[in-house]
Amino acid sequence: MASIGEARILIMATDGFEQSELQVPLERLRGAGAKVHICAPEGAREIKGWADKNWGAKFPVDLEIAAVDTADYDALVLPGGQMNPDALRMNDDAVALVQDFIDEGKPVAAICHAPWLLIEADAIDGRNVTSWPSLRTDLENAGAEWVDRAVVVDDGVITSRSPKDLDAFITALIAQIEEEIADPGRLQA
């Protein structure tokens, strides 16, 4: 079986991401030996999290979204929070990046409000997903089957509800990455 230590993972976010939903995957994936980069919209050198109803820590940005080459990465992680995915779903480069990962059959993991990006990327029609409860109608209107579970994996798309589900989210993400490394492009249509 392939090792997560061989993985190259991209986290896409902008100011206002739920801090734990970026920080915990970043630390655990790096702790497992993976190479993890953060990308953000043009001009961002660092992005600021949202933690405990206030601005949180700042994280350095490795590259701009428009500069990402999906061939350099095995998976995409989309942290939630309300502000972050709402801003990113209005960014054409961000939406195109999600579409590219989906089209290339690479795992895409979205937590909390981040499934808004999956809707914009037309990536959830016919899929089973979960999210923060307030997104249920949005996801169902886009053709998804919404379920209330800690984590849902459907054909390489991993979704979770909230920070309380981070352990299940990261476990499912790592399993999908290991499968992708062992069998690249297994999810391509």
| Calpha distance 172→167 (Å, rounded) | 9
The answer to whether 50 touches 85, Cβ cutoff 8 Å, is no
| Calpha distance 71→142 (Å, rounded) | 28
| Calpha distance 84→44 (Å, rounded) | 13
Residues catalogued as catalytic? 113
Q: Which of 140, 142, 149 is nearest to 111 (CA)?
A: 149
Write the DSSP string, 109-150. Answer: EEETTTHHHHHHTT--TT-EE---GGGHHHHHHTT-EE--SS
> Torsion angle, CA of 14/19/25/31, rounded to 10 degrees?
110
> Residue 126, class by beta-carbon neighbours within 10 Å (0-12 exposed, 13-18 middle, 19+ buried)?
exposed
